[in-house]
A and B are shown apart, each in its own frame.
Chain A
Amino acid sequence: MLCKLTYKNELRPGLFNFIIDCPQIAAKAKPGQFLHVLCGGSAYLRRPISICAAVEGRFVRFIFEVRGKGTAELAKAQAGQMLDILGPLGNGFDTALPGGGKPLLVGGGIGIFPLLMLAKKLPQKPDIMLGFRDEQSAVMIREFSNAADDIFIASDDGSIGFKGFVTDILKSKIASGAKYSRIYTCGPLPMMRIAADTAKENGIDCQVSMEERMGCGVGACVACACAMTDGSKKRVCKDGPVFSGAEVDFDG
Chain B
Amino acid sequence: MADLKVNIAGVEWKNPVTTGSGTFGFGREYAEYFDLSELGAVCLKALSAKPRLGNKSPRIAETNDGILNSVGLQNPGAEHFLENELDWLRKFDTKLIANLCGSTVEDYVEVAEILGDKLDMLELNISCPNVKVGGMAFGTDPKMVEEVTSKVKAAAKSPLIVKLSPNVTDIAEIAKAAEAGGADALSLINTLLGMKIDIKTRRPVLNNNTGGLSGPAIMPVAVRMVHQVRQAVKLPIIGMGGIASGEDAIEFLLAGADAVAVGTAGIVDPYAWIKVRNGINDYLDQNGYKSVKEIVGKLELN
A interface residue numbers (CB < 8 A to B): 38, 42-46, 69-70, 86, 212-216, 218-227, 231-233, 238, 252
Q: How far is the CB of A192 from chain B (nearest CB, A)?
A: 15
Q: Evaluate contact between B270 and A45: CB separation under 8 angstroms.
A: no
Q: How far is the CB of A212 from chain B (nearest CB, A)?
A: 5
Question: Given contacts A38-B268, A45-B268, A86-B270, is CB(A223)–CB(B65) below 8 Å?
Answer: no
Q: Evaluate contact between B53 and A216: CB separation under 8 angstroms.
A: no
CB-CB contacts below 8 Å: B176-223 with A = 205, 215-216
Residues of B within 8 A of A226 (CB): 57
Q: How far is the CB of A239 from chain B (nearest CB, A)?
A: 12
Top 5 A-B pairs, shortest CB-CB distance: A223-B60, A220-B25, A220-B29, A213-B58, A216-B267
Interface centre among B33, B61, B65, B270 (most CB of A within 10 A): B270
Chain A residue with minimal CB distance to B200? A68
Chain B residue with minimal CB distance to A45? B62
What's the interface size class on B, roughly? 20 to 34
Q: How far is the CB of B191 from chain A (nearest CB, A)?
A: 13
Instruction: Tell me the complex Cα distance, A38–B268, Å.
Output: 8
Q: How far is the CB of B147 from chain A (nearest CB, A)?
A: 30
Q: Evaluate contact between B29 and A218: CB separation under 8 angstroms.
A: yes
Q: Evaluate contact between A252 and B56: CB separation under 8 angstroms.
A: yes
Q: How far is the CB of B198 from chain A (nearest CB, A)?
A: 10
| In the complex, B169 has a CB within 8 A of chain A | no
**B50-69 interface code vs A (CB 8 A; 1 in, 0 out):** 00011011111111111101
Residues of A within 8 A of B25 (CB): 219-222
User: Please, could you name 17 A-B residue pairs with CB atoms under 8 Å apart, sorted by A?
Assistant: A44-B65, A45-B67, A213-B58, A216-B23, A218-B32, A220-B267, A221-B22, A223-B69, A224-B59, A224-B60, A225-B54, A225-B56, A225-B74, A231-B53, A232-B53, A233-B54, A238-B29
CB-CB contacts below 8 Å: B212-253 with A = 215-216
Question: Given contacts A218-B30, A222-B74, is CB(A213)–CB(B57) below 8 Å?
Answer: yes
Instruction: Tell me the complex Cα distance, A42–B64, Å.
Output: 7
* A-B contacts besides A216-B29, A220-B266, A232-B53, 18 pairs, CB < 8 Å: A44-B65, A46-B268, A212-B57, A213-B61, A214-B60, A218-B29, A218-B33, A219-B25, A220-B30, A221-B25, A221-B71, A223-B57, A223-B59, A223-B71, A225-B54, A225-B71, A227-B57, A252-B56
Residues of B within 8 A of A222 (CB): 25, 45, 54, 71, 74
**B77-110 interface code vs A (CB 8 A; 1 in, 0 out):** 0000000000000000000000000000000000
Instruction: Tell me the complex Cα distance, A223–B61, Å.
Output: 9
B interface residue numbers (CB < 8 A to A): 22-25, 28-30, 32-33, 45, 53-54, 56-67, 69, 71, 74, 205, 215-216, 266-268, 270
Residues of A within 8 A of B62 (CB): 43-45, 69-70
Instruction: Tell me the complex Cα distance, A212–B54, Å.
Output: 15
Q: Evaluate contact between A215 and B267: CB separation under 8 angstroms.
A: yes
Residues of B within 8 A of A227 (CB): 56-57
Instruction: Tell me the complex Cα distance, A169–B285, Å.
Output: 68
Q: Evaluate contact between A218 and B63: CB separation under 8 angstroms.
A: no
Residues of A within 8 A of B63 (CB): 44
Chain B residue with minimal CB distance to A233? B53
Chain B residue with minimal CB distance to A212? B57
Q: How far is the CB of A125 from chain B (nearest CB, A)?
A: 35
Q: Evaluate contact between B60 and A44: CB separation under 8 angstroms.
A: no
Question: Given contacts A44-B215, A45-B67, is CB(A221)–CB(B267) below 8 Å?
Answer: yes
Instruction: Tell me the complex Cα distance, A69–B63, Å.
Output: 11
Instruction: Tell me the complex Cα distance, A208–B25, Å.
Output: 26
Chain A residue with minimal CB distance to B61? A213
Q: How far is the CB of A3 from chain B (nearest CB, A)?
A: 15
Partner of A44, one of B30, B33, B266, B268: B268
Q: How far is the CB of A21 from chain B (nearest CB, A)?
A: 21
